[in-house]
Amino acid sequence: MPPVRPPRSWTLLLAALGGLATDTAFPARSWWPMAYLGIALLVLALRRDSVLWGWLVGFVWGLGFFLPHLWWANHAVGEPIGWLALSTAEAALVGVFGAGAVLVRRAPGLRDRVWAQILAVAVLWVSIEQFRARWPFEGFPWGFLAFSQTDAPLLPLASIGSTVLVSGVVVVIGAALAHAAVRLRELRVGAASALVVVAAACAFAPLLVPLGTQPESGSLRVGAVQGSVPEAGADASSQAAAVTENHAAGTEALLDRVAPGELDLVIWPESSADIDPRTDQLTADVIDGAARAVDAPILLGTQRYLADPQEPEARARFNELVLWEAGTGAVPELVYAKQHPVPFGEYMPYREFFRMFTEAVDLVSIDMLPGTEMGLMSLPLERLGRDVPVSVGICFEVAYDELIRESVVAGGELIVIPTNNASFGLTQESSQQLAMSRFRAVEHGRAVVQISTVGVSGIVTPNGVFQDRTGLWTAEEMVDTVPLRTTLTVADRLGQWPALVAGALAGVGLLGGLVGTVERAVTRSSGSRRTGGRRSGTGRRGSGRRGTGRRGTGRR
């Protein structure tokens, strides 16, 4: 008996519900099992055998997921065009997954092998995730399924295979549940039960993966300052000055919890000193006063502006982290420039083209340039008597696997993520980003300090547990001792190999799907010719019989 295919309208409804369900697996709700349900609904919706319809189903699922998941983009831009364009572009790539999933099923040897289909769908999904992390405009990894699992038993798998493995297992679980539902509908209870048991094992077995948390090269006593910003200010310069003053005041407030000299390092967020203290004396005095009061160096975020000597009005900037030492100022050799500026947020690609659609492009008035150096800063810390290599990534850079991994492999013993979430209001963007920092802690076996201007900020242990956490739109400080670690995880050692292998397997599966499609077309064509021949012969024989009858009647 051929399998029952759901009506087209139902497939679109299942896809939309699946996308909405998957969004609830992410912060701020963090209902992590909903990711399995969301993928299960998508797999059920993709049961029709049409590549074009598969693309549409994936696209609808993508809209159901990305429209709520990226709502913060609407708040940041102030009008919906950016949010809609970004969500639609990401949904279109999920559509590519949907089309590919239908095509892969046609590969010889997959049609009747359930687990082969499940694994093929998982490989295809992570390949699409890795692709959209790189294209267009250098990619956008926001919304990886792996980042929904920071409260789930799957999180320890991050230390083995990074986002590739965790996202892949989410898809395996969801697809297994979808196939179990189909078999249950067919009253094949044994087959359905086996699929559910394997899905449960995949979901909970990762709890057995050991995670190292102990210091291996000492520890640091750090203070992190979330100074907050004015929600509404006058001109940009006065607001920037107020932000720096807020963080200086927060630094001095640390003295309610520690004595001067007790801290090894104080960490300020991205944009905490947007008026460059290396060129502005008033800002330098504010920062130096705070550093002297707490008697510790400050790692802070600032902007460095460049002007084209031929066109003074054509300016550009770098988003930088600098180390400030009391009485000395910024250490020239300890500067990190953000490598991955955000397109349409920190720089405007094809400005003239996109201006035809909206004048919002000019909200980004000065383009940010990418830094060229790895995110690794060796900080001289007196108590340890050595330079401590610290992996750093600014804001959205925490979402990119390679940017953090390369600095950890190069020697980073602690991960620091300074960020500025003031543009996103009370949306879920901050908590989504903090979940990524939590994932990176487990992936690399390093403590992570994420510090935001307005929150949410947190200090995370190498096994993904919060040591401290702040609220959103508050002025708060955190003080804690964090372990320094040097052991590389399996994920660090494997590097990009899981993504490359997944991509290669997905390519093989798609090629197999094309071969299966051609074979089906040839089989149908030859079958049609054979059937047509039989019908033609029958018709002739029938005509002969009818003709004989008519002739006989005529004679009678």
Query: Looking at residue 455, which CATH number applies to its domain?
Result: 3.60.110.10
In a domain, 531, yes or no: no
Give the pair of three-digit tokens for residue 214.
């102990």
End-to-end CA distance of the chain: 51
pLDDT of residue 528: 67
Residue 508 burial (10 A CB sphere; 0-12, 13-18, 19+): middle
485 and 506 belong to one structural domain = no
Share of the chain above pLDDT 70, in %: 91
Q: How many CB atoms lie within 10 A of CB 362?
A: 11
Give the pair of three-digit tokens for residue 37.
């349900």
How far apart are alpha carbons 85 and 198 in whole angstroms? 39
What's the domain count of the chain? 2
In a domain, 37, yes or no: yes
In a domain, 540, yes or no: no
136 and 155 belong to one structural domain = yes
In a domain, 519, yes or no: no
Which sign does the torsion angle of CA 166, 168, 172, 173 carry? positive
194 and 250 belong to one structural domain = no
190 and 244 belong to one structural domain = no
In a domain, 421, yes or no: yes
Residues with a known catalytic role: 270, 338, 395
Per-residue pLDDT of 482-503, as tens digits, reads 999 999 999 999 999 999 999 9
197 and 92 belong to one structural domain = yes
Q: What is the domain range of residue 259?
A: 219-490
In a domain, 520, yes or no: no
137 and 180 belong to one structural domain = yes
Contacts of 416 (CB under 8 A, 6+ apart): 267, 299, 390, 391, 392, 448, 449, 451
70 and 110 belong to one structural domain = yes
140 and 270 belong to one structural domain = no
201 and 240 belong to one structural domain = no
Question: What is the CA 153 to chain-centroid distance, rounded?
Answer: 19
pLDDT of residue 236: 57
Residue 183 one-letter amino acid:
R
pLDDT of residue 537: 44
52 and 125 belong to one structural domain = yes
How far apart are alpha carbons 472 and 430 in whole angstroms? 8
DSSP H helices in 26-113: 34-45, 51-69, 71-77, 80-105
In a domain, 96, yes or no: yes
* Average pLDDT value over all residues in the chain: 91
* Residues of the chain below pLDDT 50: 1, 233-234, 533-556
Contacts of 244 (CB under 8 A, 6+ apart): 272, 273, 274, 275, 283, 286, 287
In a domain, 205, yes or no: yes
171 and 58 belong to one structural domain = yes
175 and 228 belong to one structural domain = no
